[in-house]
A and B are shown apart, each in its own frame.
Chain A
Amino acid sequence: MSLLSERASSPDPAEGLQAVAALSRLLNELETLHVINARRSGWSWREIADHLGVTKQTVHRKHHGAC
C-alpha cells in the first residue's frame, strides 16, 4: 500500500522528461505554422513577437527561413 502511494506521488523522471521533449517538438511545429499564417496575413515580425511574448529578434531568427 505504501509502495503504491509512493509511486503515485513521485513520477518517473524519464517519462516526464520524454513527455516534455515531445511537447516541445510539437510546440515548435505549431509555432512555425502559426507564424507562417500571421506573415501571410500581413503581420509584421514586431506584431508576431508581441503576441508570442518574445523579442522580435528571437521570432525572426527562428522563423524567417520558413516564411
Chain B
Amino acid sequence: MFERFTAEARGVVVEAKSQAEARGHSSVTTEHLLSVLVDHTGVAGRVLIQAGLTRTVLDDFLGIDRAALEYLGIDLEQVLSRTRAMFPDQSARLPLRGIRFAAESKKALELALREAIRLQHRHIGAEHIMLGILRDQDNRACRLMVKRDISPASLRTSLETEIRAAS
C-alpha cells in the first residue's frame, strides 16, 4: 500500500511516529497524524487551521501526559532514560519505546488509499490521509474535533472542495 504514498505522505507517517516517541506515548494514534497535518502547508493543513485546530490546541491535547507528570514533579524524560538504561535488551517489548501503530491509524491510512481511488487520484498525499482520518468518526482525532465543536463531516466537505478546486 505504501508504494502509492507520495514522499510527503510518507513524511507525515514518519513524523507522527517521532512525535509520539518524543512524548513517551506507546502508540501512534490519529491524533499524532493530525498533529503533523496541522503544520502541513497544503490543503490539509489549511483546512485544519481554518476550522480552528491549531498547533497550540493539538499540543494541549497531546502534551497531557508529559505536562501532567510535570505537574506532580515527575520528569518523564528522566524516568524513560533511566528505564531504557536498566533494560536495554527489552526495547522490543518496552511499551515506552517499542512504539506501535494504533489500529485506528492503520485504518486511517487504508481509508486514505480508498479516498484516493474514489477521487481517481493515482497518488496518496497528505490530503488523502486527512480524508482517511475524517472517514472514521470513532478515531481519536475525530473525537478530539467533536470535543472542540468541530464537525468532522463538514471538515471533510471543505477539504474535498479544496482538493477538487486545486486539481
Q: Hey, which bits of chain A sit against chain B, CB under 8 A?
A: 15-16, 18-23, 25-26, 29-30, 32-33, 36-37, 66
Chain B residues with CB below 8 A from A22, complex form: 64-65, 68-69
Main secondary structure of the interface of A (DSSP, over half): helix
User: Which of these, A16, A23, A33, A37, contacts B69 with CB under 8 Å?
Assistant: A23
Q: Provide the bound-state CA to CA distance between A30 and B72, in Å.
A: 17
Q: Chain B CB within 10 Å — which of A22, A23, A30, A66 has the most?
A: A22
A18 in complex: contacting residue of B64, B76, B87, CB < 8 Å? B64
Q: How many residues of B are in contact with the other chain, CB < 8 A?
A: 18
State the CA gap A62–B82 with chains docked (Å): 23
A-B residue pair count with CB separations less than 8 angstroms: 41
B residues less than 8 Å from A32 (CB atoms): 95
**In the docked arrangement, what's the CA distance between A36 and B94, Å?**
10
Complex interface residues of chain B between 41 and 80 (CB less than 8 A to chain A): 64-65, 68-69, 71-72, 74, 76, 79
Partner of B26, one of A18, A29, A37: A29
Complex Cα–Cα for A16 and B64 (A): 11
Digitize B70-103: 1 where CB-to-A-CB distance is under 8 Å, 0 elsewhere.
Answer: 0110101001000100110010011110000000
Residue from the set B68, B72, B79, B83 with the largest chain A CB neighbour count within 10 Å: B68
Name the residue on A nearest B25 (C-beta).
Answer: A25
B64 touches A33 (CB 8 A): no
- When the two chains form their complex, are residues A26 and B93 in contact, meaning their CB atoms are under 8 A apart? no
Question: Which of A19, A37, A66 is close to B72, meaning CB atoms less than 8 Å apart?
Answer: A19
Contact A36 B68 (CB under 8 A): no
Cβ A19 vs Cβ B93 within 8 A: no
